């Protein structure tokens, strides 16, 4: 509403509401390495493009004169009421993008009451982010290390710091083939960034020959190597159940059989995701697998979605195909890079306003009314 009030007063909003323009602004403002870190995908970028073209193929069929003048965006996800079915996706090492890093994202999320999913490669510690997030709902993502004691330590800290829900990312046990990062010799340590979550962890520190302050490159390499050494399988999921009392959501599922397996192992939710196209070049668009996964496990657990959400219409499409909520990655990262906390807040408010208006124009009063009949 405020965005339109500004327009009515003849002023333009202080930040663009055009996401493509925002991305271009960020590209011009930040070092190429930082822009590539956010924008890039695996290999030729075909999965990044596929994610977007899947959204283009689905079209909404608006309905009219259905008393949709008052909307309510609230949604219940994993038994938790949220002001809108939108979460901030885990995005690592945000100090590459802005000095306030994850603290800015945590404050913006808290203002809007949308859950932040904190990356386990965060550049600010679990406790610092929790303090910035205050009383707001927060979830924590885990790159599942092969070192059980490190996992247990991080999970314990997360619980103490008030993170309610664990998101276990299962599609990134090694990094994808990312030429744009390798050829530019991108590495977090070259950027002089911190990875506070592992670096501040006493168990992780005990595994290093030299402390991260003295040799950050070796510390980052060790952190990135750890998931590889795990050779994990679904059987080991019990470890997470034993060390986390709240809900567990498995992120990075595309095949319905994997979704069934996750639920069979005790997962409380699924995120259908291809990691924003950053892992497998040539992977199927995440949106194209959403209906199958919802058909497989949607009656038992909440299915969430990410990879390609850019507009209110995109949120509507994912919800109509059965997602209970969506996670937003790159748009928030661009907002952060451009204007810190205000930038993240602006991107999210724009997305919610767009969702609200478009939902109404399509004849729906709440996300819960959406179903596959809304689309062609």
Residue with token string 């807040």: 345
We find the least distance from the C-beta atom of residue 140 to ligand FNR, in angstroms, to be 11
Nearer to ligand FNR, 256 or 276 (CB): 276
Q: List contacts with ligand FNR (CB under 6 A).
A: 37-38, 89-92, 119, 121, 141, 169, 251, 273, 275-276, 306-309, 328-330, 333
We find the least distance from the C-beta atom of residue 291 to ligand FNR, in angstroms, to be 19
Catalytic residue among 98, 180, 243, 275: 275
Nearer to ligand FNR, 306 or 341 (CB): 306
* DSSP letters spanning 102-141: HHHHHHHHHHHTPPEEE-TT-SS-HHHHHHHHTTS-EEEE
**Which residue in the shown chain puts its C-beta closest to ligand FNR?**
329
d(CA 351, CA 344): 11
Residue list, annotated binding site for FMN: 90-92, 119, 141, 169, 251, 273, 306-310, 329-330
d(CA 246, CA 362): 36
d(CA 299, CA 296): 8
Tokens of 209: 């020959």
Residue list, annotated binding site for glyoxylate: 37, 143, 178, 275, 278
CA 346: distance to chain centroid? 17
Residues 6+ apart with CB under 8 A from 191: 33, 34, 93, 96
Nearer to ligand FNR, 141 or 200 (CB): 141
We find the least distance from the C-beta atom of residue 252 to ligand FNR, in angstroms, to be 7
243 classed as catalytic: no
We find the least distance from the C-beta atom of residue 48 to ligand FNR, in angstroms, to be 7
d(CA 290, CA 320): 10
Nearer to ligand FNR, 124 or 275 (CB): 275
Residues marked active site are found at 275
């Amino acid at each position: 509403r405020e965005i339109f009030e500004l327009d009515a007063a003849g002023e333009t909003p202080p930040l663009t509401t055009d996401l493509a323009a925002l991305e271009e602004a960020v590209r011009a403002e930040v070092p190429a390495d930082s822009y590539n870190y956010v924008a890039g995908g695996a290999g030729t970028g075909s999965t990044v493009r596929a994610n977007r073209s899947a959204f283009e193929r689905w079209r909404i069929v608006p309905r009219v004169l259905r008393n949709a003048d008052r909307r309510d965006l609230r949604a219940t996800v994993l038994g938790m009421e949220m002001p809108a079915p939108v979460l901030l996706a885990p995005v690592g090492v945000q100090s590459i993008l802005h000095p306030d890093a994850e603290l800015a994202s945590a404050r913006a999320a808290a203002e809007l009451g949308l859950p932040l999913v904190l990356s386990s490669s965060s550049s600010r510690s679990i406790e610092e982010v929790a303090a910035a997030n205050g009383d707001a709902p927060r979830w924590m993502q885990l790159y599942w290390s092969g070192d059980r004691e490190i996992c247990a330590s991080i999970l314990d800290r997360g619980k103490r710091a008030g993170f309610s829900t664990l998101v276990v990312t299962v599609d990134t046990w090694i990094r994808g083939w990312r030429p744009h990062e390798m050829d530019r010799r991108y590495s977090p340590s070259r950027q002089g960034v911190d990875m506070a979550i592992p670096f501040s962890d006493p168990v992780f520190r005990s595994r290093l020959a030299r402390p991260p302050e003295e040799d950050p490159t070796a510390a980052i390499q060790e952190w990135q190597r750890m998931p590889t050494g795990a050779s994990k399988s679904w059987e080991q999921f019990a470890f997470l159940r034993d060390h986390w009392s709240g809900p567990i959501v498995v992120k990075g599922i595309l095949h319905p059989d994997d979704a069934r397996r996750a639920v069979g192992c005790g997962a409380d939710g699924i995120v259908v995701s291809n990691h924003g196209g950053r892992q497998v070049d040539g992977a199927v668009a995440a949106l194209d697998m959403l209906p199958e996964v919802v058909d497989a496990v949607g009656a038992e657990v909440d299915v969430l979605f990410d990879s390609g959400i850019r507009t209110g219409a995109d949120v509507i499409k994912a919800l109509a195909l059965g997602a209970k909520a969506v996670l937003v990655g790159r748009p928030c990262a661009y907002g952060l890079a451009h204007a810190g906390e205000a930038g993240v807040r602006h991107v999210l408010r724009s997305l919610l306003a767009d969702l609200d208006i478009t939902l109404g124009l399509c004849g729906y009063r709440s996300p819960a009314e959406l179903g596959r009949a809304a689309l062609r």
